[in-house]
Amino acid sequence: MLIGLTGTPGTGKTSVSKLLEKRRQWKVIYLNDLIKEEHLYTEVDEKRDSVVADMELIRSRLLELTDEMERESASKVVILESHLAHYIADIIIVLRAYPPELIKRLEKRGYSEEKVNENAEAESIDLILAEAFEWCEKVFEVNTTDRTAEETAGDVEKIIDHLLSGKEDELHEYSPGSLDWIDSVP
Ligand SMILES: Nc1ncnc2c1ncn2[C@@H]1O[C@H](COP(=O)(O)OP(=O)(O)O)[C@@H](O)[C@H]1O
């Protein structure tokens, strides 16, 4: 089962994925790293210090990779970790963080003021959640605000375990759309 873990940078996708790899030996594809390692991009955007992902190339590469990993993985769970994951996976978990808290996390990471504000603004207007609704069949939302990475990993683990055991209808607490942070960024 391929499950996407998406969210604005700084919401905790990497931290949670690493914890779940350790805790449950679930396979994780760190898509942003894969894109750079295997040149799955069309051009480099020097100004924004990023690359322009080639989604067609990524989709075909992931088909091979996820088949391989699902065969190898006893649990059959493969987590696709990236802020692009919702363009690929049909089942998506969107991590959220209250923008003022997200700003603190991104400042700690050394992001420029422009990049911090850009991401905080995207988070305040639910940008990734809206894209997830457009692209994905099943969308779950996890609020990471005022929680530890361990607690958030527990939330993600609970969602995946419920999906594996067919108890998706018991996941009301992760139904998307309850957060309204539109006024949280000046
Ligand atoms: N509830 C939480 N869930 C996940 N990360 C959290 C949480 N609270 C604080 N953090 C911190 O926020 C940062 C998230 O960074 P990272 O995992 O790289 O996010 P992303 O991969 O989404 O960019 C980490 O330093 C992590 O320790």
Please tell me whether 10 is known to bind a ligand: yes
C-alpha dihedral sign at 139, 34, 126, 149: positive
| Residue closest to 79 by CA, chosen among 7, 166, 168 | 7
Please tell me whether 4 is known to bind a ligand: no
CATH number at residue 164: 3.40.50.300
120 CA distance to ligand 1 middle (Å): 14
Which atom of ligand 1 is found nearest the CA of 108?
A: 25
Q: Answer whether 7 contacts ligand 1 (Cβ < 6 A).
A: yes
Distance between CA 175 and CA 140 in Å, rounded? Answer: 6
55 CA distance to ligand 1 middle (Å): 25
Q: Answer whether 119 contacts ligand 1 (Cβ < 6 A).
A: no
User: What was the pLDDT predicted at 27?
Assistant: 93
Q: In the chain, which residue ranges form alpha helices assigned H by DSSP?
A: 13-24, 31-37, 55-72, 99-108, 113-124, 127-135, 149-164
Which atom of ligand 1 is found nearest the CA of 15?
A: 17
Distance between CA 103 and CA 63 in Å, rounded? Answer: 35
Which protein residue has the closest C-alpha to ligand 1 atom 14?
12
pLDDT at 104 over 90: yes
Mean pLDDT value across residues 37-42? 95
76 vs 139: which has the higher pLDDT:
139
User: What was the pLDDT predicted at 62?
Assistant: 94
151 CA distance to ligand 1 middle (Å): 11
The number of domains in the chain is 1
Provide the residue range defining the domain that includes 117.
Answer: 2-174
Q: Is residue 137 part of a domain?
A: yes
User: What was the pLDDT predicted at 76?
Assistant: 84
Distance between CA 123 and CA 145 in Å, rounded? Answer: 12
Please tell me whether 11 is known to bind a ligand: no
Q: Answer whether 15 contacts ligand 1 (Cβ < 6 A).
A: yes
123 CA distance to ligand 1 middle (Å): 14
Strands laid side by side in the 91-96 sheet: 27-30, 78-81, 2-7, 91-96, 138-143
Distance between CA 100 and CA 177 in Å, rounded? Answer: 19
Q: Is residue 92 within 8 Å of residue 6, measured between CB atoms?
A: yes
Q: Which two tokens stand for residue 6?
A: 């998406």
Mean pLDDT value across residues 66-79? 84
Q: Which two tokens stand for residue 162?
A: 């419920």
| Per-residue pLDDT reduced to its tens digit, 120-132 | 999 999 999 999 9
pLDDT at 71 over 90: no
User: What was the pLDDT predicted at 119?
Assistant: 97
Model pTM above 0.80? yes
**DSSP state letter for 11:** S
Q: What was the ipTM of the complex prediction?
A: 0.98
Mean pLDDT value across residues 31-39? 96
pLDDT at 48 over 90: no
pLDDT at 186 over 80: no
Q: Is residue 158 part of a domain?
A: yes
Proportion of the chain in helix, strand, coil states, percent, rounded to 5: 50, 20, 30
Q: Is residue 88 within 8 Å of residue 51, measured between CB atoms?
A: no
Q: Is residue 185 part of a domain?
A: no
Please tell me whether 109 is known to bind a ligand: yes
